[in-house]
Amino acid sequence: MSQQPFPEIVDVKKFFSRQSPLSFVLSQSRLKRLAQYLNEVEASNGSEIVVELNLIQDEEGRFILSGTMQGRMSLTCQRCLQAVEYDLASGFIVRVVDELKAGGDRELAQDELDVVVSVDGKLDLLALIEDELILSLPLVIYHKEQDCNQTLVEMQSSAQQKTAAKPFAELAALKKQLKLAADENDESKDSKGSKGGKSGN
């Protein structure tokens, strides 16, 4: 299967008329939204994603698109905040539906497949693949502990401890202020009561 340049917008009917496995190479530099999830130092390093697609038009005339994505990405370690390599391997399957049909097809609500909408017969294939890539990223990722930058880990841990301690210090100061205010209020009441007793005599 030969690899081809990745198309951004495709004509759905022409695209699915090929009905053969397709393989594309997609540069990460074209994925602007994905770049927000990558390590900022490595976001524009020119790495590539290999995308393989299978195009099916079933007996009912539905357009079914399935695919796999593979590539290496530089994400941010949540412990030391440095770049960590992540080998992505993920797949998806969706049904492509025209926007006019999507608005009135009751069967879509019962469809087991996720649905993507084409506009005027055109599908934004790049946006679809970028969405699937973003959904495939891990929520959090770490180096192996021995591979983390220990200096940065210690600095981050120290900062977290100070942040955690600060609310308790502020709470203690607030309690002290409330106690002083209560004491002053009691003294004021005692003073007024003393004056009232003398005037009554």
Which amino acid is present at 177? Q
Where is 175: in which H helix or E strand? helix 150-200
Could you tell me which residues are beta bridge partners of residue 96?
A: 63, 116
135 SS3 class: helix
Same domain, 56 and 129: yes
pTM (predicted TM-score): 0.69
Same domain, 99 and 185: no
Both tokens assigned to 54: 């299978």
What's the pLDDT at 66?
95
Same domain, 86 and 101: yes
Total of domains in the chain: 2
Same domain, 73 and 119: yes
Look up the domain containing 189 and give its range.
Answer: 149-194
| Residues of the chain scoring pLDDT < 50 | none
Q: Is residue 199 part of a domain?
A: no
Same domain, 78 and 41: yes
d(CA 166, CA 108): 53
Q: Is residue 201 part of a domain?
A: no
Q: Is residue 100 part of a domain?
A: yes
Measuring CA to CA, which residue among 142, 46, 168, 3 is closest to residue 86?
142
Mean of all residue pLDDT scores within the chain: 80
Where is 128: in which H helix or E strand? helix 125-136
